[in-house]
Amino acid sequence: MILATRKVSGVSSQAPGPRARNRRGQGDRLRADILTAAANILDETGDEQAVTLRAVARRVGIAAPSIYGHFPDRQAILLAIVREAFADLAEQLSQAAAADSGDQVARLYAICDAYLDFASTHPQRYRVMFGGLWSAAEAVRDGALSETEAAELGLDSLRLVADSLDRCVKAGHSASTDVLADAVALWVGLHGLAHQRSLALEFPWPPDIAARLIDALARLRSTVDR
Amino acid sequence: MILATRKVSGVSSQAPGPRARNRRGQGDRLRADILTAAANILDETGDEQAVTLRAVARRVGIAAPSIYGHFPDRQAILLAIVREAFADLAEQLSQAAAADSGDQVARLYAICDAYLDFASTHPQRYRVMFGGLWSAAEAVRDGALSETEAAELGLDSLRLVADSLDRCVKAGHSASTDVLADAVALWVGLHGLAHQRSLALEFPWPPDIAARLIDALARLRSTVDR
DNA sequence: TGTACATCAGTGAACGCGCGTTCACTGATGTAC
DNA sequence: TGTACATCAGTGAACGCGCGTTCACTGATGTAC
């Protein structure tokens, strides 16, 4: 009985059973399974080091060397996760931006909220995206990531913020005179809040901290134009 | 000859020679040496995982088990580094605040600049302070750090910012109506910039990005009071 | 002034572990003839 | 329609490595008598 209990708890972090082999031509499915498993390990442990080839293999239910058919090495898995995470983030923001009600300030808010939501939904992944141990600089040095691609990584989000801020200015709701610079400032502020919150330390955040950052950095005029 | 060259390059990351044993009663010196060595490894590699007992011992020039006389385990070393780093940061900010010229805005700027300077001088250490793999939450869970102490970690800096902002308000230079909340927002903004810069990715920062954040978040009135 | 002895500040060898990676392989699946 | 065979999608055993930690120890240093 004790043994059985042990076994259950020991297996809890693994896939339910041995995995059925993919049919011919569908080998790429394993690639996707590897990525999800790795992302899950990351989200659960919050530790990049926990994403080992062997841990990933255990969870997927395959032998460790099977991974080499799909990724050249360990770093490639982490890089793929980060790439996917940035793509996810960009899509979430796009969706938030798509609901265009005509109220440009509401649209900017929706985008910023989506950003903060993404970070608080996947705090661990967010931390790794922005330089846990995985650092884009390192990946560039190793040649796993081109320099231009690295520079491009968070830029989609920034562009969306900048575009949205621009609309606010044009609609007369923002006093910004340098939209790009203010967009960068706003984005940095959002990142600061998102990152600090991702550390999961209790902190008595002012309830309106997000609005405070957004209003100030986007130089929004109050509703009753002052 | 080849062997000699190898030896030199192999030793390059270690202490110059074998270390002289401390005299009786001065055993605590080793503790300090261990900490500096660990901090240096961290600054050079930017990798918390590189701070291994054995790597630290190699650099100090002692045998690995000697560390146990001073630290109960590996985590204790990292925790001590982080504690020290936060104390350093607080002191830097205090020094910046001490030069009180009577111009409260200049004082606030000096404090903020000191914060950003600290981060750009020790980018790797800064990243670890704010949740590289070492996370305060983890240390609290393991009982290595009390909850109140963890909450206290960055608070000195925040208090200094809040106090300085308060002075600006009282001198009529800031329009803030909730000094604490705005101080938090300002601090979050500084952290966002400091952290993003610590990733060492090239990014076309607007030259006045810091001032932009500080002015907006501190709700500073322009020189010619608008 | 001499000496026995406790203490301090470490050392060296060894342990078991999980890791990334390599290697030669296997067996089912689809395809050419 | 049958069959030989290439290919695909993996496996299992093994390697060498550096790690954290434990253990029994050593030799210099200071101190009590």
pLDDT in tens, B92-126: 999 999 987 789 999 999 999 999 999 999 999 99
Nearest to A161 by CA among A96, A71, A70: A96
Enclosing H/E stretch for B161: helix B155-170
Nearest to B144 by CA among B54, B85, B78: B78
DSSP 8-state symbol, B219: T
As given in the structure block, the two tokens for residue A45 are 């442990």
Q: Determine whether the distance from the CB of A6 to the nearest atom of strand D is below 7 Å.
A: no
- Separation of first and last alpha carbons in chain B: 74
Average pLDDT estimate for A3-27: 53
Q: Determine whether the distance from the CB of A68 to the nearest atom of strand C is below 7 Å.
A: yes
DSSP letter for each residue of A41-80: HHHHH--GGG--HHHHHHHHTS-GGGGGGT-SSHHHHHHH
Give the phi and the psi of residue B174 in degrees, each rounded to 5: -125, 140
- Residues A189, B192: C-beta atoms closer than 8 Å: yes
Average pLDDT estimate for A194-206: 89
Residue B31 has pLDDT above 90, yes or no: yes
Average pLDDT estimate for A104-130: 95
B225 touches chain A (CB under 8 A): no
pLDDT in tens, B197-210: 998 678 899 999 99
Give B 53-82 residues with CB within 8 A of chain A. Answer: none
d(CA A50, CA A26): 28
